A and B are shown apart, each in its own frame.
Chain A
Amino acid sequence: MPPRGLASERNNHWLPHPYPGVGFTDLRPLLKETDKMSNSHLEKPTTAGIHASAPLFEVRDLETVIHTRSGTVHAVNSVSFEINAGETLGVVGESGSGKSVTMMSLIRLLASPPVELRGGQVLLGGEDLLKLDEGALRDLRGKKVGFVFQDPMTSLNPVFTVGFQLMEPLRQHLGMSRRGAHDRAVELLALVGIPDPARRVDEYPHQFSGGMRQRVMIAMALACDPAVLIADEPTTALDVTIQAQIIELMRELQSKLGMAVIWVTHDLNVVREIADRVLVMYAGQVIEHGPVDALFAQPAHPYTRALLATMPRAGGAKQERLRAIEGMPPILTEAPQSCAFRARCGHARARCAQELPRRQPLSNGHDVACHYPLREVAEHV
């Protein structure tokens, strides 16, 4: 058996073992009970021992390349970040900046070939996920790391009931009985705010609306009480009011269950609302990272600043046009040797074309990969 980290310790307590999974009538009081339990329990692992020395989840120098017919694409270049229990890390960047590839590389969800994880470490509770064999990794997917995908309309299997799909990880990872898993599935649906869960559990995905399906996806990702939840643009495919509901739900669940959340999005307003820290990606690299307030108040990378300037704001005088960053992010056919943003950057100088900027600390927890970081406070705030 592989060494168990803190996530599995929490698992045992959050799952309803004190309540054998049969004969539930009213689920609500029970849910509150389990929530309290997990909350009170949560304090221990986060404050004691492990946290102080090493973060819960740490990614170091991740390199992912994709082999295509027209050459090798360097999709993820030396990406590093860390996250602790109860924390939310927002990952932003425009389309093609390598956000999704990075996230899927973490639990090796991408088909290999064509994708090759060339280097780096992904440490969860001290264990390197990139070194695990296929079986051990499978035991970890859905159990310690939950994944919510972008499009809830296509991410659920259309021919199986929602209950069946929710029960799968419960039975596989936790060895629950059919009956127990079914009852747990009903609880999970209640947990993510689906009305009448006892009836809905036996319905098919097409009988749910988009927002409700995303709730099901979240319930599925949280089924085994993972230590880390990766949400890859979970609200992008939803309309704005549903988006707000899902964000609210995630926040609520995080405070109840205390998992670490990595929230990938290109919606800066969402990041500002939910994230503790923000990671800005460009051309498969982390170009800026910092606490959400510091980063929004004083974006140091010209790209971050330009990105923030594109945010449309409600109210006030009508702006002349929505702002955009001209051009496209480059597709790197070799490992970056210079600043990938320089072609679109108004501040670029000779050095930007000669030397790859490395991440350098600016202030407390705020770092940037730019030779000439901007120091002044941003005008847009």
Chain B
Amino acid sequence: MLTFTLRRLFLMVPTLLVIALAIFLLLELSPGDPMSQLPLSIPEDVREGLRAALGLGDPWYVRFLRWLYLFAVVEPSHMLAAATGLDNLAIEGPRLISFQTRSPVADLIMQRLPQTLWVVGLSYLVGTLLALPIGIYSAYRQYGWFDQFGVLISMAGFSLPSFFTGPVLILVFSIWLGWFPTVYDTMLTVSDWSSFWLQVRQMILPVAVLSLLNLAQISRFVRASVLDNLGQDYVRTARAKGMTERVVLLVHVLRNSMIPVVTVIALGFPTVFTGAIITEQLFRVNGIGQLLITSIYASDVPTVMTLSVIFAALVVFFNLVADVLYGLLDPRIRYD
């Protein structure tokens, strides 16, 4: 298993290089100009100068290799320096700069990441943790009232987009009932209990919207998997041995049902990083999703490129995680 993991980690490098190149070429082909958002009064020759300053005059492979060097060598060295406090680790020279803000992309990401992790990460966690018991119980009491109700909720969760559920929740809980704020205040710093309480209150609505989506998806998946296993012969064997229903369900069936479910949960994990673009917009959470969308509007190639490649890396990495977990859960799968 260790050899397998190491080999796969090593294979991630060429995979990501190809992905990065593909993204770069796609951005290259797409229309748009980093200067398009500048005021029209700026004359054409000044624009040319600005383009040259951003290095846009160079051939595409030079720009790609420059981005690669900055992304893979310079930025990590700065992060390492910041993490260890040893300033001489950081490589001197230009950094990976956002066209739009003229600040390093890494700094932008570090500014936006906490909001996204709190809101999107928490909703993924909440959705998953609720989905497991709900899915298991629905399957165990298939067609019971709980299951029927669960089907209704998850159909709603599936089919109602967040730009519908979000405003409905805002209308009911913020405007009519006045329980929660409508807008997420990113400037809020948690220093005492009252500010912590404010933070919790402003997180509830966006987390609820996103949890519903995750909950609907994962609970249906858990239910299907548990149902599939409840009909297996080994369940009858366990009952014939005199095992309690709790053991039958939570030991014999659950372990088998988790095999496909864990894969789905692991593969869904990278979406936490990209954030939820629509929900972040709705609640004015300036997270990664919002950064990505504004960068795309502004043709901010370095930022879009960096975010996309990090996302790709996370997808590839969590694929590996899913495979490893699969091997750990199912003894029939051995990779070496």
Is A314 an interface residue when CB atoms closer than 8 A count as contact?
Answer: no
Binds B, one of A21-29, A133-141, A299-307, A371-379: A133-141
Is B330 an interface residue when CB atoms closer than 8 A count as contact?
Answer: yes
Given A155-B237, A159-B330, 20 more A-B residue pairs with CB atoms under 8 Å apart are A107-B240, A109-B236, A138-B243, A139-B242, A141-B240, A141-B241, A142-B243, A149-B236, A154-B233, A156-B237, A157-B255, A158-B330, A158-B331, A159-B256, A168-B243, A168-B247, A172-B241, A172-B243, A206-B331, A220-B241
Contacts A159-B255, A206-B331; is A143 near B234 (CB within 8 Å)? no
Contacts A158-B332, A159-B329, A204-B331; is A138 near B236 (CB within 8 Å)? no
Is B232 an interface residue when CB atoms closer than 8 A count as contact?
Answer: yes
Q: Which B-chain residue is minimally distant from A204 (CB atoms)? A: B331
Q: Which B-chain residue is minimally distant from A144 (CB atoms)? A: B242
Partner of B242, one of A140, A158, A159: A140
Chain A proximity of B335: nearest CB distance (Å): 15
Is A200 an interface residue when CB atoms closer than 8 A count as contact?
Answer: no
Is A87 an interface residue when CB atoms closer than 8 A count as contact?
Answer: no
Is B95 an interface residue when CB atoms closer than 8 A count as contact?
Answer: no
Which chain A positions have C-beta within 8 A of B233?
Answer: 149, 151, 154-155
Q: Which B-chain residue is minimally distant from A138 (CB atoms)? A: B242
Is A359 an interface residue when CB atoms closer than 8 A count as contact?
Answer: no
Report the interface size for chain A: residues with CB under 8 A from the other chain: 28
B252 touches A173 (CB 8 A): no
Which chain B positions have C-beta within 8 A of A138?
Answer: 242-244
Can you list 16 A-B pairs, Cβ within 8 angstroms, ordered by A? A107-B240, A109-B236, A109-B239, A109-B240, A141-B241, A142-B241, A147-B237, A149-B240, A154-B233, A155-B234, A157-B237, A157-B238, A158-B234, A159-B331, A168-B241, A173-B242
| Bound form: Cα–Cα A204–B329 in Å | 12
Q: Which residues, 314 to 332 on A, are CB-close (under 8 Å) to B?
A: none
- The total of Cβ contacts below 8 Å across the A-B interface reads 75
Chain B proximity of A354: nearest CB distance (Å): 40
B242 touches A149 (CB 8 A): no
Which chain B positions have C-beta within 8 A of A89?
Answer: none
| Bound form: Cα–Cα A159–B259 in Å | 10
Select the residue from B234, B244, B247 with max chain A CB neighbours within 10 A. Answer: B234
Chain B proximity of A199: nearest CB distance (Å): 16
Which chain A positions have C-beta within 8 A of B331?
Answer: 158-159, 161, 204, 206
B242 touches A142 (CB 8 A): yes
| Bound form: Cα–Cα A160–B329 in Å | 10
Q: Which residues, 111 to 168 on A, are CB-close (under 8 Å) to B?
A: 138-143, 147, 149, 151, 154-161, 168
| Bound form: Cα–Cα A173–B241 in Å | 9
B252 touches A157 (CB 8 A): yes
B interface vs A, CB < 8 Å? 232-234, 236-244, 247, 252, 255-256, 259, 329-332
Is A197 an interface residue when CB atoms closer than 8 A count as contact?
Answer: no
A169 touches B241 (CB 8 A): yes
Q: Which A-chain residue is minimally distant from B239 (CB atoms)? A: A109
Which chain A positions have C-beta within 8 A of B252?
Answer: 157, 160
A149 touches B332 (CB 8 A): no
Is A217 an interface residue when CB atoms closer than 8 A count as contact?
Answer: yes
| Bound form: Cα–Cα A151–B331 in Å | 20
Which chain A positions have C-beta within 8 A of B256?
Answer: 157-159
Q: Which A-chain residue is minimally distant from B238 (CB atoms)? A: A157
Which chain B positions have C-beta within 8 A of A143?
Answer: 242
Could you tell me the dominant secondary structure of chain B's interface residues?
A: helix
Partner of B236, one of A155, A160, A206: A155
Select the residue from B240, B255, B331 with max chain A CB neighbours within 10 A. Answer: B240
A147 touches B234 (CB 8 A): no
Which chain B positions have C-beta within 8 A of A139?
Answer: 242
B234 touches A217 (CB 8 A): no
Which chain A positions have C-beta within 8 A of B259?
Answer: 159
Which chain B positions have C-beta within 8 A of A220?
Answer: 237, 241
Chain A proximity of B115: nearest CB distance (Å): 40
Chain A proximity of B231: nearest CB distance (Å): 10
| Bound form: Cα–Cα A197–B326 in Å | 28
Give a binary string over A270-295; 1 marks a CB under 8 Å from any B CB, 0 the rest.
Answer: 00000000000000000000000000
B332 touches A154 (CB 8 A): no
Which chain B positions have C-beta within 8 A of A155?
Answer: 233-234, 236-237
Which chain A positions have C-beta within 8 A of B241?
Answer: 141-142, 168-169, 172, 220
Chain A proximity of B325: nearest CB distance (Å): 13
Which chain A positions have C-beta within 8 A of B242?
Answer: 138-143, 169, 172-173
| Bound form: Cα–Cα A207–B242 in Å | 25
Chain A proximity of B239: nearest CB distance (Å): 6
Q: Which B-chain residue is minimally distant from A140 (CB atoms)? A: B242
Q: Which residues, 178 to 222 on A, are CB-close (under 8 Å) to B?
A: 204, 206, 217, 220-221
B234 touches A142 (CB 8 A): no
Which chain A positions have C-beta within 8 A of B237?
Answer: 147, 149, 155-157, 217, 220
| Bound form: Cα–Cα A143–B242 in Å | 7
| Bound form: Cα–Cα A109–B232 in Å | 13
Chain B proximity of A356: nearest CB distance (Å): 32
Select the residue from B241, B330, B332 with max chain A CB neighbours within 10 A. Answer: B241
| Bound form: Cα–Cα A172–B244 in Å | 9
| Bound form: Cα–Cα A193–B237 in Å | 21
Partner of B239, one of A141, A158, A161: A141
Select the residue from B239, B252, B255 with max chain A CB neighbours within 10 A. Answer: B239
Which chain B positions have C-beta within 8 A of A168?
Answer: 238, 241, 243, 247
Which chain B positions have C-beta within 8 A of A151?
Answer: 233
Contacts A159-B331, A204-B331; is A154 near B234 (CB within 8 Å)? yes
| Bound form: Cα–Cα A155–B240 in Å | 11
Select the residue from A141, A157, A172 with max chain B CB neighbours within 10 A. Answer: A157
Chain B proximity of A104: nearest CB distance (Å): 8
| Bound form: Cα–Cα A217–B237 in Å | 9
Which chain A positions have C-beta within 8 A of B238?
Answer: 157, 168
Q: Which A-chain residue is minimally distant from B258 (CB atoms)? A: A159
A147 touches B240 (CB 8 A): yes
| Bound form: Cα–Cα A209–B108 in Å | 59
| Bound form: Cα–Cα A221–B236 in Å | 13
Select the residue from B244, B252, B331 with max chain A CB neighbours within 10 A. Answer: B331
